[in-house]
Amino acid sequence: MISLIISCVCTILALALSWFFSPWTYRGYPKSAPLKNTAPIPDKRDLSEKITYWRISGIPEDCDNNKLMDCLRDFDKSFKIEPSDLSLYPGCYDRKQVAVIRTKGSPDSFRRIKSEASYFMIPGLSTDGVMVDRNFYHLTPLNRPEDGDDMIDVIAVAGLEGHAIESWRNTKSGEMWLQNHLPKDIKNIRILTYGYNTDLIGDTMEDTILDLRSNLFTHLLNVRKTAQEKKRPIIFIGHGFGGILILQTLLESKSRKIYEHILNATRALFFFGVPHQGFRTSKLEARIKDMSRDGDPSAAVMLLEKLRQNSEFLISQRNDLVDIWDKINLYSFYEKVKTPIIVQTASGQCEPKERAEETVQKMSSRLFMPREIAVGVSKTHSEMIRFISDEDPTYITFKRNMEEEVANVLESLEEEKNEPKEFLFKLSEPQTRSLPAPIGYHAGYSFSGFNGTISSVTEHIETESS
């Protein structure tokens, strides 16, 4: 009996202690309201569903969005996309189409795709197969322009370690303004984004700056083949090193007479944080050298050496381009918010320091040319091109200037069309010529020609007839 009483008392004490120290009821909190954690726990599901962009090339002309979506879902049941996640555009290299697709996470069939494009046979889509990639190297179309002769190529080139899609996409709103806003706001343009490998930290970069220049130049030639396409005006948009690459391409065109149509077609440049006078590369160079596997300088290090402040390469570029600015308008956007400096700790981790600095300084972002307009942007170097919406102040400024440039180009194209008509109209007008009056002319004088004129004309006609 005593043992039973002792057992009951112990049980009651255990329950009381359990209740007292329980986190659900401690200090008066009810069981239905647990204590809130001051540091939010990362959602592993969100991490696994990171937004990823894919490009599918080689889609037949007769395929539409619904058919493509059905084919992808039938091919891979893990393909969970909405109509707004898929965009289909006319290809810029051939008559086939290109799809730009946004997914949360990676579909099962696409998980093996890393840096190189992969070939897929998707039933019901194409008997020739399609190519799928996510690096977006070379040129990718981002809109479906209306048919017509008055078309302008707008070509965007990202900077170092950039991406043809991700560099222009705002990570908070998910807006990619080159794709979502610019086609709606401005007509008569074909929007292309250019991607290339400048993976400095990953040590996969192999191309020199001359290789990169040649690649962009070649792809411009590949999408502008016919006589009409070669005359099509170009407006370039460049961020950081992308602007340097654009200028190098114009130099290539300038130096080769047969290809000067690219330079002649260029009407305006919109540059965001382009380091015309260079930028501080020492810390970045040191990080890359530390990861180098041998003593030879890598392609990344050699590229950064050319981008040092006041390097001989950049000085030569400015001098070689001095005579092109009388025909090209330049808009130079410069950053006004400093970027935290990233340092590598002893453990090999990269952490931001308290000190920050401008990636590309204001003076370096400008060329100080007569036709240059400078615009300050209250963002860091990488965020200055990631407009959060079409109400972003920098986007509004960009759009206004782009609208003016497009309007001026279309006006000049219309004038060129009318020039032959005006020439023919002038030829159809009666041509008059003043003749000297003969000596002794007076008001009642009856002019019958100079002596010998009629006989001379008659002899000439008879000679031609014989």
Give the whole-number percent of the chain exceeding pLDDT 70. Answer: 73
Q: What angle do CA 77, 80, 86 make, to 5 degrees?
A: 120
pLDDT bin (cut points 50, 70, 90) of residue 206 is confident
Give me the pLDDT at residue 388, please.
96
Going by pLDDT thresholds of 50, 70 and 90, the confidence category of residue 199 is: confident
Greater model confidence, 421 or 109? 109
- Radius of gyration of the chain from its Cα atoms, rounded to whole angstroms: 34
Distance CA(339)–CA(159), nearest Å, equals 16
Report the 3 state secondary structure along 257-273: HHHCHHHHHEEEEEEEC
Residue spans per domain, the chain = 43-134, 136-416
Task: Report the C-alpha gap between 332 and 338 in whole angstroms.
Answer: 18
* Tokens 């799809």, residue located: 99
* Position 44 pLDDT exceeds 50: no
Extract the tokens encoding 189.
Answer: 């343009």
Phi, psi of 58 (to 5 degrees): 90, 25
Residue bearing the bigger pLDDT, 192 or 444: 192
- Who has greater pLDDT, 289 or 417? 417
Whether the CB-CB separation of 341 and 383 falls below 8 Å is answered with: no
Dihedral sign (CA 2, 4, 9, 13): positive
Helix (H) or strand (E) holding 193: strand 189-195
pLDDT greater than 80 at residue 354: no
Percent of the chain with pLDDT over 90: 60
For 136-416, the fitting CATH number among 2.130.10.10, 3.40.50.1820, 3.90.420.10, 3.30.429.10 is: 3.40.50.1820
- Tell me the one-letter amino acid at 5: I
Tokens 């706001």 label which residue?
185
pTM for the predicted model, two decimal places = 0.78
Query: Does residue 414 have a pLDDT over 80?
Result: yes
In 3-state terms, what secondary structure has residue 232? coil
Rounded distance between C-alpha atoms, residue 274 and residue 381, angstroms: 10
pLDDT tens profile 110-157: 988 877 899 999 999 988 999 999 999 999 999 999 877 789 999 999
How sure is the predictor about 301, in pLDDT bands with cuts at 50, 70 and 90? confident
| DSSP string for 359-407 | SS-TTTT----TTEEEEEESS-TTGGG--SSTT-HHHHHHHHHHHHHHH
Neighbouring C-beta atoms of residue 358, cutoff 10 Å = 20
- What residue type is 356 in one-letter code? A
* Phi, psi dihedrals of residue 189, rounded to the nearest 5°: -130, 145
DSSP character string of 331-344: EEEEE-SPEEEEEE
H/E stretch holding 57: strand 51-59
Q: Which helix (H) or strand (E) holds 330?
A: strand 329-335
Return the minimum-mean-pLDDT range out of 169-183, 262-276, 409-423.
409-423
pLDDT band with cut points at 50, 70 and 90 for residue 76: very high
**How do residues 148-187 score in pLDDT, each as one tens digit?**
778 999 999 999 999 999 999 999 999 999 999 999 999 9
